[in-house]
Amino acid sequence: MPAQSKIDMLEKICSSIEESKGVFVINYQGLSVKEAQEFRRSLTEAGAHMKVYKNNLVKLALEKEEQPDIGDILVGPCAYVFYENDPVNAAKAIKAASKKLNKIEFLGAIADGKALDAEAAKAYADLPSHDELIAKLLYVISSPLSGIAQVCAGPARGLVTALDAVAEQKNAA
């Protein structure tokens, strides 16, 4: 019979999985306490949080929560970055810390209900964020509209220029 502490930990992991939209699995080996605190702060700003759990308990929790199987990447020391909303922001925070510290690497992820390998998890960091996509969409929508407005204003602008030239000629004479 499993110890009560392990049962409690399994429930805690299940609630973390249930409350998040997905998880990135990273190797954090070699981080100092100060670096880990700084990394956790950057994740919090990105709407994510990092936890370290026993891999076997995570495997059980993923199975219990009916999540995709990522058991083959859960080897050695792993940290789990749970994100609440946007996986891109969390991935960007992980990638930024990875570049800065050279001690963090992607092992895999569960995003959009699918298991991802390390390369696919890294690819999320290269995508534009939700806000960037909205800005690009607004630009694409507004570009033709501003062009139409300029074309429609062209004849009126020409008329004003012609009337101004006539007025200048009459004033000069």
Looking at the fold, whether 154 and 119 belong to one and the same domain comes out as no
- The strand order across the sheet containing 114-117 reads 48-51, 79-83, 22-27, 105-111, 114-117
Instruction: Give residue-wise pLDDT tens across range 97-109.
Output: 989 888 899 998 9
**Rounded to two decimals, what is the model's pTM?**
0.73
Residue 162 domain boundaries = 128-173
Query: Is 39 a residue whose pLDDT tops 70?
Result: yes
Looking at the fold, whether 97 and 111 belong to one and the same domain comes out as yes
Looking at the fold, whether 10 and 68 belong to one and the same domain comes out as yes
Looking at the fold, whether 114 and 58 belong to one and the same domain comes out as yes
Looking at the fold, whether 41 and 103 belong to one and the same domain comes out as yes
Question: Angle at the Cα of 59 (from 58 to 63), degrees rounded to 5?
Answer: 115
Residue 52: what are its φ and ψ, rounded to 5°? -115, 120
Number of domains in the chain: 2
Looking at the fold, whether 10 and 69 belong to one and the same domain comes out as yes
Classified as helix, coil or strand, 150 is: helix
Instruction: Give residue-wise pLDDT tens across range 114-144.
Output: 888 889 888 888 888 777 878 878 777 777 7
